[in-house]
Chain A
């Protein structure tokens, strides 16, 4: 018999137990004996305080302390953002919210996603500040210092949103150019003949994007057909390449001068004009927010910020 077999035989000894009748009777006897010596059932509070004391002793142990620290770190990175996300600018937990947002940003590896998230956070901060300043109970002479500080913070947040959106747009533009370049290399023989298509296609994509962004703002639903380079030559003048279905009436006139019942051509033309003039709808919206905030039209500023947030989604 080898050692392994011998150990296996010895292990079988654990199957031996005292008989059940003795176990039961002895248990009863034992409980009676200890009850006579003053045994009692502790209250929940007493048990809790004992557990707390043991925990405090155990947490002073280096290994236990490191495990606890690690657990708190992981739990806080996962849950803190949810817990602190409702903290308002004048709350004590607001700083915790900012820290947890920064922590969350650091966990995002993709640059585009990170910029988008940062812009969303900044827009929400600006929204919260506007909401707070719109509250007449807070916005008083007594709180002038806090109000001024919050106004400065608002401007900073808006700048952050502006910078991040500009960065997102430029990244998108770069990617588009790179994609176009790649496609151009594959179709070198047809390049000359298709150059007009390529340029109009990229313009169309710009309009497509601009049109998409108009959806949230104006309530116009645009059903845009995807265009490819193989499609026929397209120009913007008098175009029918974009199929638009206007399902909602435009409720208000704005700086894009798109009025009720405008045709597809006029919308696309106005958008293209703005893009060609170097004006970005997002940046215009941000400028509007700034203006409204300066004019203390907080509710309207909040509305615009809400739109920006929706666009960022």
Chain B
């Protein structure tokens, strides 16, 4: 409880400093959140280059938003970044069409797999899992995909997801449960299909 309070206090403090156009505070916020926002955007739209462009836009838009608004939009800075990212993705869909293939990329993506373990076998497992996410996640509904990315990949709290999406915690809990169920059904279906082929 006290760590949550401290996080809220820290976030409030950072927001206030950003309001004063504090460059240092925004640089810190940027460093803390860039990887999470990139991951969120990347797994939603499925393209590395576009994900990077959108991510850059997100931070600039957030900076401009903070300068001109009363900051009532989000409880924490992190939630604000995600809200801006969601809106940026919607804008992207409008411009480029939502029906675009979102699964495997045509060109080699430029991202790193940051893995601190020394075991090569574990690293291969991680790569395999990321590949699984990249292929299966786009097959889910938009809101299921979003819920899984925020909850299990970026490891946000239920309260944070509720703040970002504007839904209640109960709704989010149900949504996550359904999303997992849907993903599991997909994987089981694929497994069954493979077994049948064999």
B-contacting residues of A (Cβ < 8 Å)? 1, 3, 6-7, 9-20, 22-23, 26-27, 29-31, 33-35, 37-42, 46-47, 50-51, 53-55, 57-58, 61, 63-64, 67
Q: Are A19 and B43 in contact (CB under 8 A)?
A: no
Q: Are A1 and B55 in contact (CB under 8 A)?
A: no
- Of the candidates B20, B30, B113, which one forms a contact with A46 in the assembled complex, judged by CB atoms under 8 Å apart? B20
Q: Are B23 and A34 in contact (CB under 8 A)?
A: yes
Neighbouring B residues of A54 by C-beta, 8 Å: 9, 12-13, 16
Q: Are A10 and B133 in contact (CB under 8 A)?
A: yes
- Of the candidates A9, A30, A37, A53, which one forms a contact with B30 in the assembled complex, judged by CB atoms under 8 Å apart? A30
Q: Are A6 and B64 in contact (CB under 8 A)?
A: no
Known contacts A10-B152, A13-B153, A54-B9; decide if A18 and B52 are in contact (CB<8 Å).
yes
A163 to B4 alpha-carbon distance, docked (Å): 52
- Of the candidates A1, A13, A31, which one forms a contact with B184 in the assembled complex, judged by CB atoms under 8 Å apart? A1
A8 to B126 alpha-carbon distance, docked (Å): 10
Q: Contact size class for B?
A: 35 or more
A sample of 7 cross-chain residue pairs with beta-carbon separation below 8 angstroms, ordered by A number, consists of: A3-B180, A10-B129, A13-B43, A13-B153, A23-B34, A30-B60, A50-B13
B17 within 8 A of A: yes
From residue 1 to 29 of chain B, which have CB atoms closer than 8 A to chain A? 1-2, 5, 8-9, 12-13, 16-17, 20-27
Q: Are A38 and B126 in contact (CB under 8 A)?
A: no
* A to B contact number (C-beta, < 8 Å): 144
B155 within 8 A of A: yes
Neighbouring A residues of B118 by C-beta, 8 Å: none
Q: Are A11 and B155 in contact (CB under 8 A)?
A: yes
**What's the nearest-Cβ distance from chain A to residue B42, in Å?**
7
A26 to B113 alpha-carbon distance, docked (Å): 19
A23 to B152 alpha-carbon distance, docked (Å): 23
A61 to B35 alpha-carbon distance, docked (Å): 32
**What's the nearest-Cβ distance from chain B to residue A100, in Å?**
27
- Of the candidates B22, B59, B152, B154, which one forms a contact with A40 in the assembled complex, judged by CB atoms under 8 Å apart? B22
Neighbouring B residues of A40 by C-beta, 8 Å: 21-23
Q: Are B23 and A16 in contact (CB under 8 A)?
A: no
**What's the nearest-Cβ distance from chain A to residue B63, in Å?**
5
A-contacting residues of B (Cβ < 8 Å)? 1-2, 5, 8-9, 12-13, 16-17, 20-27, 30-31, 34-35, 38-39, 42-43, 51-52, 55-56, 59-60, 63-64, 67, 110-115, 125-126, 129-130, 132-133, 148-149, 152-155, 180, 183-184, 187-188, 191
Q: Are A13 and B56 in contact (CB under 8 A)?
A: no
Q: Are B63 and A12 in contact (CB under 8 A)?
A: no
Known contacts A19-B111, A64-B5; decide if A39 and B22 are in contact (CB<8 Å).
yes
A302 to B132 alpha-carbon distance, docked (Å): 84
Known contacts A16-B39, A22-B110, A41-B23; decide if A7 and B12 are in contact (CB<8 Å).
no
Of chain A, the residue at the smallest CB distance from B15 is A54
Of chain A, the residue at the smallest CB distance from B123 is A15
Q: Are B17 and A42 in contact (CB under 8 A)?
A: yes
- Of the candidates B52, B56, B59, B67, which one forms a contact with A37 in the assembled complex, judged by CB atoms under 8 Å apart? B67
Known contacts A15-B113, A41-B24, A50-B13; decide if A6 and B30 are in contact (CB<8 Å).
no
- Of the candidates A3, A42, A63, A64, which one forms a contact with B24 in the assembled complex, judged by CB atoms under 8 Å apart? A42
Q: Are A34 and B63 in contact (CB under 8 A)?
A: yes
A23 to B55 alpha-carbon distance, docked (Å): 11
A13 to B126 alpha-carbon distance, docked (Å): 8
Q: Are A39 and B21 in contact (CB under 8 A)?
A: yes
Q: Are A37 and B39 in contact (CB under 8 A)?
A: no
Of chain B, the residue at the smallest CB distance from A11 is B152
A38 to B23 alpha-carbon distance, docked (Å): 9
**What's the nearest-Cβ distance from chain B to residue A307, in Å?**
49
